[in-house]
Amino acid sequence: MVGGLRKEDAGRKERLSGWVHRRRDLGGLLFVDLRDRSGLVQISFGPEWTEAESLSLAHRLGSEDVVVVEGEVELRPNDARNPELPSGDVELRVHRLELLNSARTPQIPVYRGPDEDLPAEELRLRHRHLDLRRRELQENLRLRHELILETRNYFGNLGFLEIETPILTKTTPEGARDYLVPSRVHPGEFFALPQSPQIYKQILMTAGYDRYLQIARCFRDEDLRADRQPEFTQIDLEAAFVEPDDIFRWIEGLMAELGKVAQIQAAPPFRRLTHAEAMDRFGSDRPDLRWSLEISDWSDAFGTADSRILQSAVETGGRIRGFLIRGGGELSRKEVEALESVARAAGAPGLLWAKRTGEGGSGPLSRWLGEEEWEASGARSGDLLLVAAGSDRVTSPALSAVRGAVIEAMALPQERSDAWLWVLDFPLFEEHEGRIHPGHHPFVLPHPEDLSRLNDDPLSVRSLAYDLVYNGSELGSGSIRIHDAGMQRAIFRALGMGDQEIARKFGFLLEALESGAPPHGGIALGVDRLVKDFLNAASLRDVIAFPKTTAARALFEGAPSTVGSEELRELHIELRAAPVGVRTP
RNA sequence: GGGGCUGUAGCUCAGUUGGUUAGAGUGCCGGUCUGUCACACCGGAGGCCGCGGGUUCGAGUCCCGUCAGCCCCGCCA
Sequence-distant (6+) residues with CB within 8 A of A50 are A58, A71, A93, A94, A95, A96, A97
CA→C1' distance for A233 and B3 (Å): 30
pLDDT for residue A585: 32
Q: In sequence order, what E strands does A167-220 have?
A: 180-182, 190-192, 211-219
Helices A275-282 and A392-409, interaxial angle, to 10°?
Answer: 60
Residue A77 beta carbon within 7 A of nucleic strand B: yes
Q: Which nucleotide is nearest to A443 if distance is taken from CA to C1'?
A: B77
Q: What is the DSSP letter of A450?
A: G
Pick the closest to residue A45 from A35, A36, A32 (CA basis): A32
The Cα A287–Cα A474 span in angstroms is 9
The Cα A539–Cα A226 span in angstroms is 6
Residue A84 beta carbon within 7 A of nucleic strand B: yes
The Cα A283–Cα A276 span in angstroms is 9
The radius of gyration of chain A from alpha carbons, rounded to an integer in Å, stands at: 30
The Cα A505–Cα A172 span in angstroms is 8
Nucleotides of B under 7 A from a protein CB: 1, 10-13, 26-29, 32-40, 67-77
- CB distance A217 to A530 below 8 Å: no
Pick the closest to residue A129 from A439, A556, A569 (CA basis): A556
Residue A128 beta carbon within 7 A of nucleic strand B: no
Decide: helix, strand or coil at residue A271: strand
CA→C1' distance for A107 and B19 (Å): 36
pLDDT for residue A577: 64
CA→C1' distance for A2 and B34 (Å): 25
Spell out which residues of A between 33 and 52 contact strand B, using CB within 7 Å: 33, 42, 44, 46-48
Residue of least CA–C1' distance to B11:
A108
Pick the closest to residue A477 from A442, A533, A426 (CA basis): A426
Per-residue pLDDT of chain A (585 residues; tens, 9 = 90+): 899 999 999 999 999 999 999 999 999 999 999 999 999 999 999 999 999 999 999 999 999 999 999 999 999 999 999 999 999 999 999 999 999 999 999 999 999 887 788 999 999 999 999 999 999 999 999 999 999 999 999 999 999 999 999 999 998 777 899 999 999 999 999 999 999 999 999 999 999 999 999 999 999 999 999 999 999 999 999 999 999 999 999 999 999 999 999 999 999 999 999 999 999 999 999 999 999 999 999 999 888 878 888 888 888 888 999 999 999 999 988 888 888 888 888 888 888 999 999 888 899 999 888 888 999 999 999 999 999 999 888 899 899 999 999 998 898 999 999 999 999 999 999 988 778 889 999 999 999 999 999 989 999 999 999 999 999 999 999 999 999 999 999 999 999 899 999 999 999 999 999 999 999 999 999 999 999 999 999 899 999 999 999 999 999 999 999 889 999 999 999 887 655 444 333
The Cα A519–Cα A158 span in angstroms is 19
Length of chain A: 585
pLDDT for residue A74: 96
CA→C1' distance for A30 and B76 (Å): 55
Q: Tell me how crowded residue A527 is: count the other CB atoms within 10 A of its CB.
A: 24
CA→C1' distance for A115 and B24 (Å): 15
- CB distance A147 to A197 below 8 Å: no
The pTM of the full predicted model, rounded to 2 decimals, is 0.93
